[in-house]
Chains A and B, each alone.
Chain A
Amino acid sequence: GAVVSQHPSWVICKSGTSVKIECRSLDFQATTMFWYRQFPKQSLMLMATSNEGSKATYEQGVEKDKFLINHASLTLSTLTVTSAHPEDSSFYICSASLAAEPYEQYFGPGTRLTVT
């Protein structure tokens, strides 16, 4: 149980375009989802916390107008990278937290974004 999927697994887009990444909890409801990014040979850095039905909370230094997060249901959160630039190329990973102790987080397989 506790499976999280992401779609797409990889995407290549041109500079200036927008791309949407979906994160789904397949067999459980997640009131809270998290979005991380990972640069090569670096660890995961939290971008934002997504709560169902409310606005996302962004970490310092993350542009909320560039990285749009929507958490419309208890099983789906989306991250839209708007006006993408090559420096946005990264590995984006989402996680979903079980709504019960010990609030373990389960991670999706990640999405590799390449902006040309």
Chain B
Amino acid sequence: KQEVTQIPAALSVPEGENLVLNCSFTDSAIYNLQWFRQDPGKGLTSLLLIQSSQREQTSGRLNASLDKSSGRSTLYIAASQPGDSATYLCAVSRGSQGNLIFGKGTKLSVKP
């Protein structure tokens, strides 16, 4: 059974810092991996999707890497801003058209 773990559960940093969020999964047979952002009481916003054949994806200040063989992904946020404060969720897909299995998320707080 696939399990997704995110560390740390919560993180508080001062504005401007670079930071790394970690995600690990137990079954390396994934189709793709997605990082999402969730604001309190809101739905999910897709940040980055990495296909199983890829090693990283970048969007603006965000960079996500994937090491499928070791079951790990990281989300790097450069020059953090207070607006980045949210819960970040990592999810893996077990196949095309397959559902996503989520980690519990990392709650990020960026202090001005």
A and B co-occur in one complex: yes
Binding site for B on A (CB under 8 A): 6, 31-32, 34, 42-46, 49, 91, 93, 95, 97, 99, 101-110, 112
In the complex formed, the residue of A with least CB distance to B104 is A43
Is B83 an interface residue when CB atoms closer than 8 A count as contact?
Answer: no
Per-residue A-contact encoding for B24-47, CB less than 8 Å = 1, 0 else:
000000011010100001111110
Q: Which residues of B contact A46 (CB under 8 A)?
A: 99-101
| Contact in complex: B105, A43 (CB < 8 Å) | yes
In the complex formed, the residue of A with least CB distance to B93 is A103
| Contact in complex: B44, A104 (CB < 8 Å) | no
In the complex, 7 of the A-B residue pairs with CB atoms within 8 angstroms, ordered by the A residue number, are A31-B97, A49-B99, A93-B43, A103-B32, A104-B34, A105-B34, A109-B43
| Contact in complex: A102, B41 (CB < 8 Å) | no
| Contact in complex: A112, B41 (CB < 8 Å) | yes
